Amino acid sequence: MEFPWGHSRRFNDYSSFVRRTFGGRVQKLSINAGFTCPNRDGTKDSRGCSYCNNNTFRPDYCEPDKSVTQQIEEGIDFFSRKYPDMRFLAYFQSFSNTYGALDVLDRVYAEALSHEKIEGLVIGTRPDCVDEAVLDLIAEKARDHFVAIEYGIESTIDSTLERIRRHHTFKEAIDAVAMTKKQNIHVGAHLILGLPGESQEDQLSHAKALSALPIDTLKLHQLQIVGHTAFAKEYAKNPSEFHLWNLDDYIDFIVDFLEHLRSGIIVERFVNQSPADMLIAPKWGLKNFEIVAKIEKRLKERETWQGRNYTAGS
């Protein structure tokens, strides 16, 4: 059976999108350009998001005291040992990578794109860290290269966003996505499943809310409690405040979520994998590809697929 996204996998997967777009294997290279966030520099807060420890996803080569070019070279050296012909996307991942002066943004984006093995940019940021001027600059880069902006939306419920110290609203996410899509820039979103205070019904409602937005890709993450975060301290004092997913329940919920997700949204990721020495809970003990295989098996067992229960406007 072939699904609306053009193949037989039961969800609209990111690897197929990459092959269609670039004609082969492309790897994201994380870049730390030394940016910060408005809820770290005191503009909105100085403590950061309650769940966040940037060290959980920063490779060893990814240090802000190195130039963008040096980080790219070291990242390419690491991945090219296994795949010599691989091409790359420069992934500005750490903190909010549109939160800076326009000339600084222009310089670091241009430096990355000038490398011969870089096919384009992926820019991670917050919905409250873009405006028309920033998007004009990024749209200019997108005329000749693949460029995606990934927004940390995390929840569609404002009370949750305040609880986890995001200090932006879902309306700001809606507006940022609309402005970005108007510029014909590829739009991605991040969502955390299992945040405190959200029921399974609340979390399922995220699928419907995000499906109404013109996003192209979606990354799903189960809530993880990692060291040196506000959640780590809260969890140590009162673990009953957190209802963390066990793996089997999470897989079933992901299938439910996919059924309500618009079929045109490319699913890039289902889980987050923090380093073992930083992870407090939950500890599932499986690699990403193993969990994806279980999700695909469950989709087949339930004879269902992404978008099966999606209705536009519902």
Report helix, strand or coil for 241: helix
Q: Is residue 180 within 8 Å of residue 174, measured between CB atoms?
A: no
Alpha-carbon distance values, 45 to 41, 161, 164, 195, 253 (Å): 7, 13, 12, 20, 33
What confidence category does residue 56 fall into, taking pLDDT thresholds of 50, 70 and 90?
low
What confidence category does residue 79 fall into, taking pLDDT thresholds of 50, 70 and 90?
confident
Please report whether residue 156 resides in a domain. Answer: yes
Tell me the CATH number at 74.
3.20.20.70
Please report whether residue 2 resides in a domain. Answer: no
Report the number of distinct structural domains present in the chain. Answer: 1
Burial class (CB in 10 A: 0-12, 13-18, 19+), 74: middle
Report helix, strand or coil for 252: helix
**pLDDT tens digits, one per residue of 226-271:** 999 999 999 999 999 999 999 999 999 999 999 999 999 999 999 9
- What is the pLDDT at residue 65? 87
- What is the pLDDT at residue 57? 62
- What is the pLDDT at residue 81? 81
Has residue 314 got a pLDDT over 80? no
- What is the pLDDT at residue 149? 98
Burial class (CB in 10 A: 0-12, 13-18, 19+), 113: middle
Q: What is the mean pLDDT of the chain?
A: 95
Average pLDDT on 112-131 reads 97
Give the number of residues written for the chain.
314
- Two structure tokens written together for 219: 């990354």
Q: How many CB atoms lie within 10 A of CB 112?
A: 26
Please report whether residue 248 resides in a domain. Answer: yes
Please report whether residue 78 resides in a domain. Answer: yes
- What is the pLDDT at residue 1? 80
CA 118, 124, 129, 130: dihedral to nearest 10 degrees?
A: 50
- Lowest mean pLDDT, pick from 52-56, 198-202, 215-219, 246-250: 52-56
Q: Whole domain around residue 246: which residue ranges?
A: 14-301
- What is the pLDDT at residue 205? 97
Rounded CA separation 128/151 (Å): 9
Please report whether residue 307 resides in a domain. Answer: no
- What is the pLDDT at residue 193? 98
Q: What percent of the chain has pLDDT over 70?
A: 99
The residue with greater pLDDT, 111 or 314, is 111
Which residues have CB under 8 Å from 240's CB, separation 6+?
none
Please report whether residue 269 resides in a domain. Answer: yes
What confidence category does residue 305 fall into, taking pLDDT thresholds of 50, 70 and 90?
very high
Cross-strand pairs, 187: 149
Q: What is the pTM of this model?
A: 0.95
What confidence category does residue 64 fall into, taking pLDDT thresholds of 50, 70 and 90?
confident
Please report whether residue 71 resides in a domain. Answer: yes
